[in-house]
Amino acid sequence: MAEAKRPVVVLAGAGDHDLTKLAEYRSIGGYDALAKARAMEPSAVIDELNASNLRGRGGAFFATGKKASFIPADSPKATYLTVNADESEPGTFKDREIMLRVPHRLLEGCLITAHAIRSRHVFLYIRGEYLEEFETLRAALDEVRGAGLLSGVTVVLHRGAGAYICGEETGLLESLEGKRGQPRSKPPFPAIQGLYASPTLINNVETMATVAPIMAMGGTEYAKLGAPPDSTGTRLFCVSGNVVNAGNYELPMGMTIREVLFDIAGGVPDGRELKAVIPGGSSMPILTADQIDTPLTHDALRALDTFLGAAALIAIDDRCCMVQLGLRVAQFYMHESCGKCTPCREGTRWMVQILEKIEAGRAEQSELDLLLDVCDRILGHCLCPLGDAAAMPIASYVTKFRDEFQQHVDLGACPFAGSSTLDDLFAPVNQHSRHPTVEVPA
């Protein structure tokens, strides 16, 4: 697909303008959609979102308009809009790009959505490490406030304190309320009892940044983009790992993984072979190199038992030992498990212990199946999706690269003999050393 024909929605105009400035954003029609929406009935705004078939960009792919319609229109309590900017999934870096480059489009989307659910309170929960993003957004918010665009809506920017689990919607609410960041049991769902036990809508940054363009172009027009009927519109694909040109690319949904990795991101560097691709962020089941002609749509990936998630494509080349990769991913989830529910708290630690043993070449044959069984016993048994997020990828590494795991057992050592590397894939474990670390006895 040629560069010129590719539609750009979320980052539109950001190449030629400094859209962090209110004046420049307005010069390309910024905040017109807000005025248009505010002239409409709230329910008509939701109709427009429904027509666009916009799905949640945080990873769950739930219809945004439908979720907004769950907020009772006649709630005696205040209703809240909460925006999840706690982008923490390894492999994702799209929300930060939006906050840095089109903060006004995000704020406009928030104000439109607040109108749609009759809310006068917007909370943006920003990942604690995102300082520059926070400051950019704060400056933009000051401008919006100065220009009188808030119309009585309060927008609160809240910085998190560095816990992955606070990106889970109910964990985020707990943290926002000043409590320990641990997910809540659902039901009750946030739409009924969310923040401060009031109806609350929680949306991802990218979702919110898509709302204003939808209002501007009309929902039906947006629905023609991408791969209708389900995977409509564009997405910010975070391409990382062993590719020549890693970065964010706003692309219509429906392109194949091969197109994105090779035509757009320049392919695997140094002439190495592509070994596998993680399609949606570290918590998603992995795809092998022969599965990359799959279109990047929800349905096509579901058919391969994986998910588009937050559209974070991680390319993995042939230098990578899958056991080492699995260990690193498992370590991340063990470190980030909140400790509330049993399978995740205990299971993630156990997984790490087994993977360490396999990587060290000390594992027995039965422990490969034990690892799969531990994954299986975590899956679907946890309070929130974090446990699944740890178990799903590991189980997929073992099943799809069973031979490599088997070699570790047979050789009594890692077949890569020290040549394997996770460079460009994941940050090293000791990056977390400032946090209380989990000691796993050898």
Q: Which is nearer to another protein, 79 or 170 (CB)?
A: 170
Q: Which is nearer to another protein, 143 or 359 (CB)?
A: 359
Q: Which is nearer to another protein, 94 or 349 (CB)?
A: 349
Q: Which is nearer to another protein, 258 or 381 (CB)?
A: 381
Q: Which is nearer to another protein, 402 or 435 (CB)?
A: 435
Q: Which is nearer to another protein, 52 or 182 (CB)?
A: 182
Contact between residue 261 and residue 255 where contact means Cβ atoms under 8 Å apart: no
| N-term to C-term CA, the chain | 51
Q: Which is nearer to another protein, 107 or 334 (CB)?
A: 334
Find the shortest distance in angstroms from Cβ 114 to another protein: 28
DSSP β-bridge partners for residue 23:
none
Contact between residue 97 and residue 236 where contact means Cβ atoms under 8 Å apart: yes
H/E/C letters for each residue in the chain? Answer: CCHHHCCCCCCCCCCCCCCCCHHHHHHCCCCHHHHHHHCCCHHHHHHHHHHHCCECCCCCCCEHHHHHHCCCCCCCCCCEEEEEECCCCCCCCHHHHHHHHCHHHHHHHHHHHHHHCCCCEEEEEECCCCHHHHHHHHHHHHHHHHCCCCCCCEEEEEECCCCHHHHCHHHHHHHHCCCCCCCCCCCCCCCCCCHHHCCEEEEEHHHHHHHHHHHHHCHHHHHCCEECCCEECEEEEEEEECCCCCEEEEEECCCEHHHHHHHHCCCCHHHCCEEEEECCCCCCCCEEHHHCCCECCHHHHHCCCCCCCCCEEEEEECCCCHHHHHHHHHHHHHHHCCCCCHHHHHHHHHHHHHHHHHHCCCCCHHHHHHHHHHHHHHCCCCCCCHHHHHHHHHHHHHHHCHHHHHHHHHHCCCCCCCCCCCCCCCCCHHHHCCCCCCCCCC
| Residues that bind another protein in the complex, under the rule CB under 8 A | 163, 165, 180, 185, 187, 334-343, 345-350, 353, 357, 370, 377-378, 380-383, 436, 438, 441
Q: Which is nearer to another protein, 113 or 353 (CB)?
A: 353
Handedness of CA 357, 360, 366, 367 (dihedral sign): positive
Find the shortest distance in angstroms from Cβ 251 to another protein: 32
The type of residue at 201 is L
Contact between residue 73 and residue 220 where contact means Cβ atoms under 8 Å apart: no
Find the shortest distance in angstroms from Cβ 355 to another protein: 12
Find the shortest distance in angstroms from Cβ 129 to another protein: 17
Find the shortest distance in angstroms from Cβ 436 to another protein: 6
Q: Which is nearer to another protein, 220 or 342 (CB)?
A: 342
Q: Which is nearer to another protein, 236 or 354 (CB)?
A: 354
Find the shortest distance in angstroms from Cβ 165 to another protein: 8
Q: Which is nearer to another protein, 250 or 388 (CB)?
A: 388
Helix axes 386-400, 342-359, angle to 10 degrees: 30
Find the shortest distance in angstroms from Cβ 201 to another protein: 22
Find the shortest distance in angstroms from Cβ 173 to another protein: 14
Find the shortest distance in angstroms from Cβ 65 to another protein: 24
Find the shortest distance in angstroms from Cβ 384 to another protein: 10
Find the shortest distance in angstroms from Cβ 228 to another protein: 27
Angle 349-278-245 (CA atoms, 0-180°, nearest 5)? 125
